[in-house]
Structure 1
Amino acid sequence: MTRRPLAGEPLALDLVNTQWVERGRMVDLFDEPDGLRGWLAEHRLAGDPTSVEVPLRQARSALRRVLEQPGEDAERGVNAILARGASRYTLRQSTVHERHDVDPEWLLSWQAVTNYLDLLRQQPFRIRRCGNPDCVLYFYDTSRNGTRRWCSMDGCGGRAKAARHYQRHRPTPAS
């Protein structure tokens, strides 16, 4: 399976991050042999890749759109996935129980979209796009002071630091 540049984000952002730019071209993990199967295993998610692929691609597209072009049009895509299910709550022995009534093929997509809503309810300003303009990855900033800028210091952050160093130390042309 192809090594992704950023993994381990909350489910919604990790789904969006199954597409990334590598050497100037867009890579889609779901187009790789066993890419979707590997992603499901990585998240310990059950599901037949052939039956969940189309809903997951639709959810990924809707999430990316709402992240990149927020507004009513983008929200319609997210709401279309949310309409595929509902949560039901019951109280038993002073404990709240939650059950999801969702079409099985859409369950993972619905969970990814509801995860995005949870992130919005917690701290929406912590949902960030990498500071590298050529990068399409998103992360949930869990740094203490909330100032993380890069998808990873190994990738985009390291390249930005190297570029700044080069700019400071490059020889100036003789005039």
Structure 2
Amino acid sequence: MPRNLPADPRPLTGEPLSIDLLNTRWIDAAGYHDLLDGVGGLAIWLGSTPVRDALGEMNAPADEDTLDKLLQARTALDGLVRTVPAFGDDALRAANAVLDRGRIHRSLRPDGPATEIRVDLPSWGPAWTAVEDFLRLLADRPERVRPCANPECILHFYDVSKNGTRRWCSMAGCGNRAKAMRHYRRTGRG
């Protein structure tokens, strides 16, 4: 992956891979944005450090085929987060269609146990890994997968706070806006 890519423009990065994929769409003062509206944005996403770390040795090209498969995974994840914990049939079908394209292969080697992800085609790697990551979050703490409490925000996060009470994608962004609105309403200025 080339290192001379433009900076990732998204307001929230660093979430687990599945949530990071969902957050390739966002809304700000300039309107609606979709990082995955073309292979250029796909290259930015694939080149970001958290995504590279999550994908490890898996190499998928930043091309239309990988983009199409990643958009399938994002659609599946979007359906899942909207219906946690009682998943709708469409969301389950979409997620399982992506998961059917790969598997975890375990083996024992002279140096010890090994785990390898095997996918039908390299272009399935990022999509499969993102949906598999969501399964990990569900197995750990499904109630911690949340949308931002700002009704005008479409970002999601995985709450890793000690007491599990995080409400905002970002306290500096949506959290501060909510606090300011409460203040203005209280003081009669809003």
- TM-score past 0.5 threshold: yes
Give the structure 2 partner of residue 47 of structure 1. 60
* Bigger mean CA deviation after superposition, 119-128 or 42-51: 42-51
Instruction: Give 1:91 shift.
Output: 2.6
| SS of alignment partner, residue 27 of structure 1 | strand
Residue 78 of structure 1: aligned partner:
95
Cα drift, residue 33 of structure 1: 7.4
* Counterpart Cα distance in 2 of 1:171 and 1:86: 57
1:32, distance to aligned residue in structure 2 (A): 6.2
Aligned equivalents of 1:24, 1:129: Cα separation in 2: 21
Q: 2:40 aligns with which of 26, 34, 37?
A: 34
CA distance in 2, matches of 1:72, 1:21: 28
Tell me how large the CA RMSD over aligned residues is: 2.0
Note the residue ranges of structure 1 that are not aligned, 5 or more in a row: none
Q: Distance in 2 between matches of 1:25 and 1:36?
A: 20
Aligned counterparts of 1:32 and 1:39: Cα–Cα separation in 2 = 11
The letter for the 2-side match of 1:18 is T
Secondary structure of 2:36's partner?
Answer: helix
- Give the structure 1 partner of residue 79 of structure 2: 65
Structure 2: any 5+ residue segments left out of the alignment? 1-5
Q: CA deviation at 1:18?
A: 0.1
Q: 1:97 aligns with which of 106, 110, 114?
A: 114
Matched, 1:170 2:188: yes
CA drift of 1:104 comes to 1.1
2-side partners of 1:92 and 1:104: how far apart?
24
Of residues 150-159 and 91-100 in structure 1, the stretch that sits farther from structure 2 once superposed is 91-100
Q: Which has the larger radius of gyration?
A: 1
Among residues 70, 80, 87, which one is paired with 2:104 in the alignment?
Answer: 87
- For 1:14, the aligned partner's letter is D
Which residue number corresponds to residue 139 of structure 2?
121
Partners in 2 of 1:84 and 1:47 — Cα distance? 14
| CA displacement 1:25-64 (0-9 Å, x = unmatched) | 4310122672211111102253211131110111011101
Corresponding residue of 2:12: 6
Offset at 1:93?
Answer: 5.1
Q: How many residues align?
A: 172
Kindly provide the CA deviation profile for residues 90-121 of structure 1, in whole angstroms up to 9, marking residues without a partner as x: 13358321122202110110000000000001
- Determine helix, strand or coil for the equivalent of 1:31: coil
Kept in 1: contact 2:76–2:94 (CA 8 A) = yes
Tell me how far 1:145 sits from its aligned partner. 0.5
Deviations 1:50-94 (A, max 9, x none): 131110111011101111143222111000000001111113358
Normalising by structure 2, what TM-score?
0.83
Task: Calculate percent identity across the aligned residue pairs.
Answer: 46
| SS of the residue 2:115 aligns to | strand
